[in-house]
Structure 1
């Protein structure tokens, strides 16, 4: 069910699911009731009590949704709202999910001076990396009171596999130079995880984990490999 999972600070967990957890997205050609059942199984597996993961309607943009208000806490049941149209979310302790199948899932954890967890997730595909969705998420977390922030980068397509036209590589690399890459067979490529790491480094955010290549791993969903495929999730949650 999990490709990677860890308690990253007392009471706060980060995880990335695998294909064994099944497709968690409602926007692909799958039975909605079955997708919701898988989400519930996942919530039960991680021990969420009276709370649920908040998902979003991802559109390859840079909008960041703030979930819950300043009084929200992991001890309060999460009244999950309709999925916001955004590519990143920030909350004070409320569980968050981001879905991918080659794009970069970024999970972030910070804390306020009072010790409250400030959580964030971002969906960083090519447009999102270029438009700064990850820096925008860090900005919103700091606005919510986060002091120190750390990041976990989930599995995504690597710079040796993500082939793109040469003009597209030049366009994105002009904005985020670290994304410029070449495939293992010698054609132009983009290294989106490297781009995300460079953006985080420029903001003083430490990357604690960077995942493997989705296209190279059968245990992960990959749109480039399979086209008609599901989505796995990056997750962050807090509980006692």
Structure 2
């Protein structure tokens, strides 16, 4: 779909690929134990379906490092959880199976970025780091539009009370309680607060909960595959 004029976003699901069970069928994660040939076929299929020239996949490590890219990483990708580009037709992917993708665009600067914001990355502030890196290259947060992709929701993402308190000490908005009354984290609320604090005025959501949505992979459901949130310039 078009996030803003000239900028497209997409969220893949688990259907339409070639991976065998238990990865069935469109697993995009290269470090999941799936057949590398199947993962490559799935990634090539997504690129063809979206009509992009290439897709950048990160070596995600749950950190807050961000890199500018003009081509896909080679075989030894650096450990980053955020990437951004001004290259048309180069899609940026954030893989997840409960961790939300953060997709950001400044349509005037013609710059887009993607981040992987799981629990450690949200605690480390990867969304704000991405916005800051883009601003350093000439983008303006006041013009940015962001989409937070699917993830484990605040009513399902149960964690120990100590972990909830640890994250909430840095990201208060992430403090949550499950629908059955136990400690939880709401990463979506935390990420939105970080983006707003970084100056991004327009934050949108794909509000699906990965734990509840059968069409998406979920680590909490013990699915081994990964789906992707993607953003690219037309």
Structure-1 separation of matches of 2:72 and 2:166? 38
Runs of at least 4 residues of structure 1 off by over 3 A?
A: none
Structure-2 separation of matches of 1:210 and 1:202? 20
Which residue of 82, 86, 102 maps to 1:92? 86
Identify unmatched segments of 5+ residues in structure 2: 17-25
Task: Give the equivalent residue in structure 2 for 1:7.
Answer: 2
Render the CA deviation track for 1:126-161: whole Å, top value 9, x for unaligned: 110111111000001111111211100111000111
2:73 matched to 1:81? yes
Per-residue deviation, 1:103: 0.6
Task: Give the equivalent residue in structure 1 for 2:21.
Answer: none
Per-residue deviation, 1:116: 4.2
Task: Give the equivalent residue in structure 2 for 1:146.
Answer: 139
Render the CA deviation track for 1:71-94: whole Å, top value 9, x for unaligned: xxxxxxxx4222331111111133
Per-residue deviation, 1:211: 2.2
Q: CA RMSD in A?
A: 1.2
Q: How many residues align?
A: 218
Render the CA deviation track for 1:66-122: whole Å, top value 9, x for unaligned: 113xxxxxxxxxx422233111111113321110000111111113xxx44211111
Give 3-state SS (helix, strand or coil) of 1:84's partner. coil
In the alignment, is the contact (CA less than 8 A) between 1:158 and 1:192 conserved in 2?
A: yes
Structure-2 separation of matches of 1:199 and 1:18? 26
Structure-1 separation of matches of 2:10 and 2:198? 23
Per-residue deviation, 1:47: 1.1
> Greater CA deviation, 203-212 or 22-31?
203-212
Identify unmatched segments of 5+ residues in structure 1: 1-5, 69-78
Give 3-state SS (helix, strand or coil) of 2:29's partner. coil
2:192 matched to 1:197? yes
Q: How does 1:87-236 map to 2 (within 5 A)?
A: 87-93=81-87, 94-111=90-107, 115-147=108-140, 148-205=143-200, 206-226=202-222, 228-236=223-231
Task: Give the equivalent residue in structure 2 for 1:35.
Answer: 39
